[in-house]
Amino acid sequence: MLEIRHLRTLSALRSSGSLVRAAQLLNLTQSALSHQVRLLEERYKAPLFERKSMPIAFTATGSRLLELADKLLPEIELAERDVARLSQGDKGQLRVALECHTCFDWLMPVMDAFRQRWPEVEIDLVSGFHSEPADLLRSGEADLVIGSPYGPDFTVFPLFRFEMLVVMAQKHRLQAQRRLVAADFTGETLITYPVPEERIDLIREVLRPAGIEFERRTAELTVAVLQLVASRRGIAALPNWAIKNYVDYDYVVARPVGEHGLWSDLYVSVPEQLQDKAYVRDFVSVIREQCAASLDGIKLLS
């Protein structure tokens, strides 16, 4: 029998473009997702999409089922939100604080999409740069923080994993390196956000364990960090999504760190009293859906 989960699977395959990312979006293993697709294809005795196409190209059978998904899923999601409003109330607010400003690029479209789904919930950004966003949750000045997991005092929702890349000016001495190792940073000036060193992945995971000596300079805005890098004031480690356009236009050069790369995880943290609010959980879902579709090189966390 065709079920709602099957339609959600097809929609996730289309929006994510691959089996791997669709499985992450749906919180399934890739084998479980493949099994689900295989059962559908056996039922309809036809493939749903071309196996070797990137992104996924749907067959006539798959496209027809997607038409059904496009009609039914928005109505089902709307009904689920309406039921949540009836049971929990339809008013609320979400004051969002960011651990770093690199999230701004993808957060604005997320907030726009959320406002369309929850127009009665007031959502806004907590202004200014905050070196300790968890303090905003404790004081009641923020309702939600995007950044490191601030447990156990708060409820934490996983978002995605991303790679930190080191950016440097064109013709920097390290440009010839295919991958950087700890010793490459000796004597360099590292440009970071003004946060404690233990919250900076490159320092915590790479430089401090190796005993590397380096200078540090801070800037609050990503664009300011990149301007300092381009003008040869130092190097920086930033998320892959934050630097893509700058690298594509040859403003800076990017290199991975270590044999397997330097990866970081992003989470949403909220006070426990908000953990079951439907609009909070839907905001997390919107982030995951939008970022899976628009950000290259991320891995959704389960």
Residue spans of the domains in the chain: they are 4-86, 91-160+264-300, 162-263
Domain 162-263: give its CATH superfamily. Answer: Periplasmic binding protein-like II (3.40.190.10)
Strands 215-218 and 144-147: unpaired
| Longest CA span, the chain | 64
CA–CA separation, 109 and 290 (whole Å): 8
Cβ proximity of 209 and 183 under 8 Å? no
- From residue 153, alpha-carbon distances to 126, 149, 262, 270, 283 in Å are 20, 10, 27, 9, 20
Going through the chain in order, the beta strands assigned E by DSSP cover 92-98, 121-125, 144-147, 155-168, 189-192, 215-218, 236-239, 253-255, 262-270, 299-300
Q: For every one of its 302 residues, what pLDDT tens digit does the chain have, with 9 covering 90 and above? A: 899 999 999 998 988 888 888 888 888 888 999 999 999 999 999 999 988 877 889 999 999 999 999 999 988 888 887 777 766 665 688 999 998 778 888 999 999 999 998 988 999 999 777 778 888 999 999 999 999 888 788 999 999 999 999 999 999 999 999 999 999 999 999 999 988 898 899 999 999 999 999 999 999 889 999 999 999 999 999 999 899 999 999 999 999 999 999 999 999 999 999 998 989 999 999 999 899 888 888 988 98
Strands 155-168 and 236-239: antiparallel
Q: What are phi and psi of 190, to 5 degrees?
A: -100, 120
pLDDT at position 270 is 95
Q: In which residue are the tokens 């801070």 written? A: 218
Give the CATH number of domain 91-160+264-300: 3.40.190.10
CA–CA separation, 292 and 298 (whole Å): 7
pLDDT at position 109 is 93
* Radius of gyration of the chain, Cα coordinates, nearest whole angstrom: 22
Cis check for the bond before 158: say yes or no (omega within 30 of 0).
no
Go through 189-217 and write b for each residue having 16 or more CB atoms within 10 A of its CB, e for each that does not: bbbbbebeeebbbbbebbbeeeebeeeee
pTM here is 0.78
Cβ proximity of 80 and 8 under 8 Å? no
CATH architecture of 4-86: Orthogonal Bundle (1.10)
**Dihedral sign for Cα atoms in the order 126, 84, 112, 26:** positive
CA–CA separation, 219 and 179 (whole Å): 25
Cβ proximity of 6 and 283 under 8 Å? no
User: Is 91-160+264-300's fold the same as 162-263's?
Assistant: yes
pLDDT at position 88 is 65
pLDDT at position 183 is 97
Helix (H) or strand (E) holding 193, with range, is: none
Is 108 strand, coil or helix?
helix
> DSSP letter at 257?
B
Is 195 strand, coil or helix?
coil
